[in-house]
Amino acid sequence: MTSVPSTLGLDGDILVFQACAAVEKEIPVGDFRYLGSSFEDARGVFYENLHDLMEQANTEDLLFTFSDKQNWRRNVFPDYKANRRGSRKPLCYQDLVDYVSSKWPTVTLRGLEADDVLGIYGSRREIIIWSIDKDLKQIPGYHLGQDEVIEITKEEGDRFHLYQTLVGDPTDGYAGCPGVGPKGANEFLDSPYEWSPPEDGRKQWRREGTEDTWRGIESLFEKAGLTSSDALVQARVSRILRDGEYDMDKQKVRLWKP
């Protein structure tokens, strides 16, 4: 059995954003209102949050991950996070990123989000993963949960990836399979089935159990008026990268295949 890593891997995007957003203040000047911030205040909130996480993980060995400016998912699905375009980072964000980078080990990989970097290192069992993003539940490895370190198995991680493929993520701008919500996705994954289209005089789609889970997912998309290619796009865009899914030398993503 692999021992629990001593390094806590942190989503730096989230920690820095939270701290900077928490200290922004509206400053009235006559009839005008300005937005102001204090780097010292942001750094103070950051340290408070970080201290709590270090206590929970019982470690002082840290690794911060940050997102690259480019995002590989937009090559797969151009509307990925399109709903966030034009939004701004809170004041002092880059200053605090620079500060963190000067104090602790940090990793940014070309084209990847912070989540992907955590996924790669976490699936190698080199770090304990911390992120408030539920997408990381698809990564097998050690995670800092509610005040304790838990382990997610490969089977649990694979299931959550397919769950995300079906339900989508509105905050990231991809919809999953139309008509399939959390309850329906879990029922399907508990007992996979395949839809067959009307033929031989039948007017209705026919549902039968299957051992081919991916083919069943394709049929859900087809019944919703989409295609197997649409299902694959959703699976790829929802995928958090694991070890072996990113070529470090060529700095290129190896797209998920069923």
Q: Which CATH number fits domain 7-28+35-152: 3.40.50.1010, 3.40.640.10, 3.40.30.160, 3.40.250.10?
A: 3.40.50.1010
- Domain definitions of the chain by residue range: 7-28+35-152, 159-238
DSSP code per residue over 136-171: GGGS-EEEE-SSSEEEE-HHHHHHHHHHHHHH-BGG
pLDDT of residue 71: 96
Q: Which residues of the chain have pLDDT under 70?
A: 1
pLDDT value at position 180?
A: 97
pLDDT at residue number 55: 96
Place of tokens 């920690």: 15
* pLDDT value of position 147: 82
57/61 Cα distance (integer angstroms): 10
CA distances from 128 to 72, 112, 122, 150 (A): 24, 19, 6, 9
Backbone angles phi, psi at 40, to 5 degrees: -60, -40
Element (H, E) at 56: helix 39-57
pLDDT at 1: 54
User: pTM for this structure?
Assistant: 0.94
Q: Is the dihedral of CA 71, 156, 4, 50 positive or negative?
A: positive
Q: What is the pLDDT of residue 84?
A: 85
Q: Torsion angle, CA of 132/143/71/93, rounded to 10 degrees?
A: 50
- Element housing 25 (H / E): strand 25-29
Q: What long-range pairs does 1-4 form, CB within 8 A, spacing at least 24?
A: 2/125, 4/128, 4/142, 4/149
Residue 199: the pLDDT is 83
pLDDT single digits (tens) 152-188: 999 999 999 999 999 999 999 999 999 999 999 999 9
Q: Are 218 and 199 in contact (CB under 8 A)?
A: no
pLDDT value, residue 190: 98
